[in-house]
Homo-oligomer: A and B are copies of this chain.
Amino acid sequence: MTKFHGVVPPVVTPLNPDFTVDYPSYTRVLEHLLGAGCHGVFVLGSTSEVVFHNEKTRQEILEHSVKVVNGRVPVIAGVLDATTDSVIGHAKVAKAAGAAAVVVTAPYYTVTSQPEIIDHFRYIKDAVDVPLVAYDIPVCVHAKLARSTVTTLAKEGTIIGLKDSSGDDGNFRYALLDLAEHKDIFLMTGSEIVVDNALSMGAHGVVPGLANVDPHGYVRLWDAAQRGDWAAARKEQERLCRLFEIVWVAQSRVSGGASGVGGFKTAMRSLGIIDTNVMPRPRQALDAAESARIDAILRSTGLLG
């Protein structure tokens, strides 16, 4: 397998006012990302609001994505669910729909031990012949993938990679060091704001939700890192940090999840990429005042004229 690498945005799922997927907008999002030079796309993840969509819609979104991307870059698909057999079900569908790899969290809702988490990944690997990427996102799953869990699964071949959205950069570094000799394993950060650090430590890829809004910025950051121009990488990252302030614009009124992805959608609407900033229930969309504040940030970071 060719190792995954580069900027692999988690793709926002635009909605119509009736909460169905707005596929014309969705297509524009994908073309926007690929046009900017992104190296892959991650569909059906947390930024995609996957848990709001049922199996049928998940399949349609993935099939649509595979069709639009049409082999230009790999399409990685989230198969998030609370338990082992549910994930296996999603993984089979995702494989059939053309996913290059599937992204799997630890079980959630139930409280799970690290040995059970290891078993969870092994059972899925045994059941579906598709590459697995572990997804460490404690803010949603409420369990952290331990360093030894990741390295055990990687070294034995159960997983081919990690998406680390834990915010624990020290632990991520140890995963990179522990697996440095395993050239087939790739480790990606889910951060938007310390991507230069992750790349400097040796991360193979980045999965920033904010790349939906500014994919060119993250591609420039990636390119600067590849050529070892850390000053340029840092400068680009700092601009993106100022842009990332859009995720807090609505935080006094709605939950962090609604404020974050809602901020992305609202900015993408202002940039003409998608038609609405509709959020799945029970999340509320950002309002006009919040949208105006987001536009101000887009202007100050050079995205809006």
Contact = CB atoms under 8 A, between A and B. Distances in A.
Contact of A167 (B117, B170, B191, B254): B170
Interface string A239-267: 00110000000000011111000000000
Interface stretch (A36-44, A66-74, A275-283, A295-303): A275-283
Interface residues of A, number: 60
Interface stretch (A108-116, A149-157, A214-222): A108-116
B116 A284 contact: yes
A138 B19 CA distance: 28
Nearest to A143: B255
A60 interface: no
Interface string A181-223: 0000000000101101100110000000000000000000000
A284 to B, nearest CB: 7
B255 A116 contact: yes
Given A83-B51, A108-B109, A173 B194 contact: yes
Given A51-B82, A141-B109, A257-B111, A282 B200 contact: no
Nearest to A192: B170
A110 B200 CA distance: 31
Contacts of A84: 52, 280-282
B107 A282 contact: yes
Given A140-B109, A254-B113, A242 B177 contact: yes
A283 B140 CA distance: 20
A75 B260 CA distance: 40
A201 B169 contact: no
A139 interface: yes
Given A109-B141, A282-B116, A200 B196 contact: yes
A69 to B, nearest CB: 26
A285 interface: no
Nearest to A117: B282
A281 B119 contact: yes
A2 interface: no
Contact of A193 (B51, B113, B173): B173
Interface in A116-159: 116-117, 119-120, 123, 139-142
18 contacts: A51-B86, A52-B84, A83-B280, A84-B281, A85-B281, A109-B140, A111-B140, A111-B256, A112-B255, A113-B255, A116-B258, A123-B281, A167-B170, A169-B197, A170-B191, A196-B200, A197-B197, A228-B231
Interface of A: 19, 46, 51-52, 54, 80, 82-86, 89, 107-113, 115-117, 119-120, 123, 139-142, 167-170, 173-174, 177, 191, 193-194, 196-197, 200-201, 228, 230-231, 234, 238, 241-242, 254-258, 280-284
Closest 7 pairs between A and B when the two form their complex, measured CB to CB: A197-B197, A113-B255, A119-B282, A120-B282, A84-B281, A51-B82, A170-B193
